[in-house]
């Protein structure tokens, strides 16, 4: 940590991994511990477009027919170009945890990311309501390795159009238990503050709103540069510049009615439109910095919500995404929204790949699980949901990635267990009841 003080207030700023922290080969930490591994769950709501809007049974506009490594990218997957070798596309899997209820979106998001059947809640005023039947996979990981970092995990969201009337299952992505859900952070400013910045107490509105952490640690930076080599000095400058650039991005997004010197963006709409692309980019940049500085190793990222009403206005659309997916007349609009979603996912992967760490990059040391709450919103089917496993998981996952179509409708919990073992190698099971898995998916393991 870089340390400093302003006005008697202590300030600390996390450091990226430097050569001085590694062994002589750059393959492990100096004390011999392995490089940190990361786990991310990445969610988008309402599934993907159908091949034939008049025949929902014809399948999805999603994966190619070809299997194995070097599979071609379909138009929906075009956003993975440049990182496709890090991506395993998994099709033909079944959410076994969903067989108990068959409630569409609820089954999909709960079963896919936890392996536990959800728990029904009273819903006299709603069409349905539920809570997670157990911890989601990110929180299983956080319980095991979260004590090794400043933050056990972080919960991030890009779109604010999240349904809040059908219980915690659809409102939140991360759950520690059936009765403890972890709210996601929607504001880039709030996430920046949580990770990198320092504030004076908020009990007095006349006080300055912000202490500049970069200014506060300037003297410590000078001292550190005298102790490290040229390469580390360059990495340190790059890190500080990156943090400063993210802050400038937040300032640039500030509404015009706010003071321009205050980075106050809280993901506010402009003329009723969400700044979805801008917020997604900043959130991804912040998550990459959090991983680079080992502030946390576990994250959940909710791009759009389950039964969410995000409007992809940048594509010329005016209706909420959930409504589009339930009307086959808008199948092409759903197709365009899915392609845009994968571009957003691809941005995170490309940023991770472009960020060096030791003798590789952050994507080498990460496992990112992409999933949705249905194969398509129109069918509400939880079989053959879109699923991508990205990253090398510290060498635990197959590289280059493959397209693997399950020949036997395997349990999606098998996917979760293989991913969990990238950060918790001793893990032996995921989920419970009909969703239980004790057999990690060997097809994606190295």
pLDDT digits (tens, 9 = 90+) for 314-331: 999 999 999 999 999 999
User: Is the confidence at residue 254, as pLDDT, over 60?
Assistant: no
Which region among 263-272, 294-303, 349-358 has the lowest average model confidence (pLDDT)?
263-272
> Beta-carbon neighbour count of residue 375 at 10 Å?
25
**CA dihedral sign, ordered 130, 134, 139, 141:** negative
Q: How many angstroms separate the CA atoms of 388 and 391, rounded?
A: 10
- Two tokens at 42? 């990445």
Question: What is the spatial distance between Cα 348 and Cα 158, in angstroms, rounded to a whole number?
Answer: 13
Does residue 348 have a pLDDT over 80? yes
Least Cα distance to 210 among 256, 261, 173 occurs for 261
Cα separation, 286 vs 393, in Å, equals: 20
C-alpha atoms less than 13 angstroms from C-alpha of 139 in its C-beta half-sphere = 20
Distance of alpha carbon 38 from alpha carbon 420, whole angstroms? 10
Sign (positive or negative) of CA dihedral 405, 411, 416, 421: negative
Q: What kind and span of H or E run contains 233?
A: helix 230-252
pLDDT band at 413 (very low <50, low <70, confident <90, very high): very high
| pLDDT tier at 48, thresholds 50, 70, 90 | very high
pLDDT digits (tens, 9 = 90+) for 145-201: 998 888 899 999 999 999 999 999 999 999 999 999 999 999 988 888 888 764 333
Residue 367 pLDDT class (50, 70, 90 cuts)? very high
135, 430 Cβ separation under 8 angstroms: no
Q: Work out the pLDDT band at 251, boundaries 50, 70, 90.
A: low
């Amino acid at each position: 940590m870089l340390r400093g003080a302003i006005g008697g207030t202590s300030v600390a700023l996390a450091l990226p991994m430097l050569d001085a922290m590694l062994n002589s080969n750059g393959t492990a930490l100096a004390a011999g511990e392995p490089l940190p591994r990361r786990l991310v769950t990445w969610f988008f709501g309402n599934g993907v477009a159908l091949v034939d809007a008049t025949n929902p049974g014809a399948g999805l506009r999603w994966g190619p027919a070809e299997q194995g490594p070097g599979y071609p990218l379909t138009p929906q997957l075009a956003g993975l170009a440049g990182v496709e070798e890090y991506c395993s596309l998994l099709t033909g899997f079944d959410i076994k945890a969903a067989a108990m209820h068959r409630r569409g979106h609820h089954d999909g998001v709960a079963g896919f990311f936890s392996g536990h059947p959800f728990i029904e809640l009273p819903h006299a005023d709603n069409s349905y309501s539920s809570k997670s039947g157990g911890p989601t996979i990110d929180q299983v990981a956080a319980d095991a390795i979260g004590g090794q970092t400043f933050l056990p995990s972080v919960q991030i969201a890009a779109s604010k159009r999240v349904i809040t009337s059908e219980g915690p299952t659809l409102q939140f992505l991360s759950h520690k238990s059936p009765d403890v859900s972890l709210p996601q952070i929607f504001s880039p400013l709030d996430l920046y503050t949580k990770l990198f910045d320092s504030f004076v107490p908020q009990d007095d509105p006349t006080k300055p709103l912000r202490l500049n952490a970069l200014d506060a640690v300037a003297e410590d930076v000078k001292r550190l540069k005298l102790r490290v080599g040229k390469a580390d000095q360059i990495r340190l400058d790059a890190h500080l510049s990156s943090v400063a650039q993210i802050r400038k991005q937040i300032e640039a997004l500030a509404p015009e009615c706010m003071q321009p010197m205050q980075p106050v963006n809280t993901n506010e709409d402009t003329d009723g439109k969400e700044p979805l692309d801008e917020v997604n980019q900043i959130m991804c940049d912040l998550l990459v910095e959090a991983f680079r500085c080992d502030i946390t190793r576990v994250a959940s990222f909710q791009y759009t919500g389950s039964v969410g009403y995000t409007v992809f206005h940048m594509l010329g659309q005016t209706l909420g995404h959930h409504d589009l997916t339930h009307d086959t007349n808008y199948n092409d609009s759903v197709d365009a929204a899915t392609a845009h979603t994968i571009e957003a996912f691809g941005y995170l992967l490309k940023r991770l790949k472009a960020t060096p760490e030791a003798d590789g990059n952050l994507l080498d040391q990460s496992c990112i699980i992409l999933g949705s709450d249905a194969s398509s919103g129109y069918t509400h089917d939880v079989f053959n949901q879109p699923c991508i496993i990205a990253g090398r998981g510290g060498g635990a996952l197959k590289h280059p990635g493959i397209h693997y179509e399950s020949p036997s409708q395997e349990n999606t919990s098998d996917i979760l267990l293989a991913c969990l073992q990238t950060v918790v190698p001793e893990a032996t099971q995921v989920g419970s009841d009909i969703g239980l898995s004790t057999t990690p998916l060997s097809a994606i393991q190295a």
